[in-house]
Amino acid sequence: MRVEIIPGTRNVVRFPVELRARPSLELLHDLAPDSRRIDIIAEAFGLDKPPDGLRDQADRRTAELIQARVPSGPDEARRAALDALLRPVLETAVAACRNAFKADQEAQQMQMQAAQALVAGSFSASGLQARADALTETAAELTLLAHQHAEEAFGVARAVDYARRGEPWVPLDVHAEAEALFFGSAKTA
């Protein structure tokens, strides 16, 4: 296990609470792999890139499922049905992100050991490097898988959020969202 010291201190160790906390959407936002790195990782390791639009597809499928199977109205049965839709997807995504994080930490530690063995001139350096490379590739595969699960969970969460608020679901329009973000929700002439 690697000890992570809190920046600016010499004796305060950071406890990785994200590895023990109950799965939630906020935790998933913290754990999910950076989407800007996904294409780079896939290309570097010769892996297939995750399909585009996973979040939108999950959003649309979930909205259709909610409309078809979830009882309407603001009662407890509806809340329970919506929670039952989101919870397993969220738990799977958080577990995948945790696995990717752990694999990445192990790979980094093994890469460091291999580098130290090489500098020391150890006869085991080549074996350690082969093991480090294998762990690094496994970490890359798990990172891509975690990204896929996270994107699906974010899509499901969007559709469930609309249903919880009692608003009709509308497909995500990236241009309208960006305009609202940068210029406010109302246009001025």
Nearest CA to 106 among 136, 82, 77? Answer: 136
**Can you spell out the DSSP letters for 32-98?**
SPPHHHHHHHHHHHTPPPPPTTHHHHHHHHHHHHHHHHSPPSSSHHHHHHHHHHHHHHHHHHHHHHH
pLDDT at 7 over 80: no
- Side-chain-facing half-sphere of 169: CA atoms under 13 Å: 23
Nearest CA to 91 among 163, 35, 149, 143? Answer: 149
Q: Each residue of 8-65: pLDDT tens digit?
A: 777 766 666 677 789 999 999 999 999 999 999 999 999 999 999 999 999 999 999 9
Q: Each residue of 103-134: pLDDT tens digit?
A: 999 999 999 999 999 999 888 889 999 999 99
Cα 77 to the chain's mean position, in Å? Answer: 29
The 3-state DSSP class for residue 27 equals helix
pLDDT at 87 over 70: yes
pLDDT at 189: 38
Q: How far apart are CA 43 and CA 143, in angstroms?
A: 13
pLDDT at 69 over 70: yes
Predicted TM-score of the model (pTM): 0.83
Q: What rounded mean pLDDT belongs to the chain?
A: 89
pLDDT at 172: 83
- Please provide the size of the chain in residues: 189
